[in-house]
Amino acid sequence: MTTLTFRQPRLVALAILVILAAGASSLLSIGRQEDPTITNLFATVTTVYPGADPARVEALVTAEIEEVVREIPEVDTIQSTSATGVSIIRIELSDRVQDGVIETVWSEIRDALDDARARFPEGVLAPEFDSDGTGAFAAIIALSPARDGVPMSIASRYAEELGDRLRGVSGTKLVDLFGLSEEEVLVRLDPVRAAALGITADAVSAAIAAADAKMQAGRLLGGGNDLILDVAGEIEALDRVRQVI
């Protein structure tokens, strides 16, 4: 080999150039991503059955979901946990499923969950299907108020508005918000006065719900017109709550 190197220097130089060119070509063509794409083959189905013991959850909820999900051939593994008032099912697809078919399989599983829900007993909430899986994040931004005393509800509204603007930025794939506060209105009843008037907490709740109409009251057709009738007085401020009879 040593003798060949001295006898054919041009051939050796050509071989070295070919190796260098092949290496440079491979380096330039290799796939590169700032956030690597992760194929998601896992999903979780969470179903709440308030007040039910684990045995009832297993028989009436978990078993029904497992039965319909097993009918999908792409599903490889199903693991379930039935606890008091909740059913958690973990689904894993076969690693032979093509990337372009995965979303179709998740859609089939969602349809299967709707079929299983039709057989649930009364009181079972709708199953929550989560197939987002894991991913890599280029940036995580924490939003905090500039001064003390700012309510979390206000900060949450700014975060939602910022999220909407970021979704409109070219190249943005996902914007997810964490730690948002949920706003609620707390109605306190005077038990003595309510008892004297014969009013229960359920009656007050029903009156507030009826006053906060979010559906159309009807339609008016005739004379070439198609008009939608809405009831005014939707609850948008605390003063409107105080005015409910």
The answer to whether the pTM exceeds 0.85 is no
| 129 contact partners, CB below 8 Å, separation of at least 6 | 43, 44, 45, 106, 109, 110, 113
Closest CA to 78 of 120, 41, 27: 41
Q: What is the mean pLDDT of residues 74-101?
A: 89
Which residues make beta-bridge pairs with 2? none
Q: What is the mean pLDDT of residues 137-148?
A: 70
| 167 contact partners, CB below 8 Å, separation of at least 6 | 175
State phi, psi for 33 to the nearest 5 degrees: -140, 135
Cα separation of 66 and 75, whole Å?
A: 11
Structure-token match 């706003």, residue found: 183
SS3 label, residue 32: coil
Give the up-direction half-sphere exposure of residue 1: CA atoms within 13 A in the CB hemisphere. Answer: 0
Return the pLDDT at 2. 59
Return the pLDDT at 68. 92
Q: What is the mean pLDDT of residues 57-81?
A: 92
Tell me the percentage of the chain whose pLDDT exceeds 70: 87
Return the pLDDT at 52. 86
Count of C-beta atoms within a 10 Å radius of residue 147:
5
What are the start-end ranges of the H helices in 30-97?
A: 54-57, 63-69
Return the pLDDT at 157. 86
Which residues make beta-bridge pairs with 78? 91
pLDDT value at 201 more than 80? yes
Return the pLDDT at 77. 92
Q: What is the mean pLDDT of residues 201-218?
A: 79
**Measured CA distances, 72 to 11, 98, 107 (Å):** 60, 15, 11
Q: What is the mean pLDDT of residues 195-199?
A: 89
Indicate the pLDDT class of residue 32, thresholds 50, 70 and 90.
low
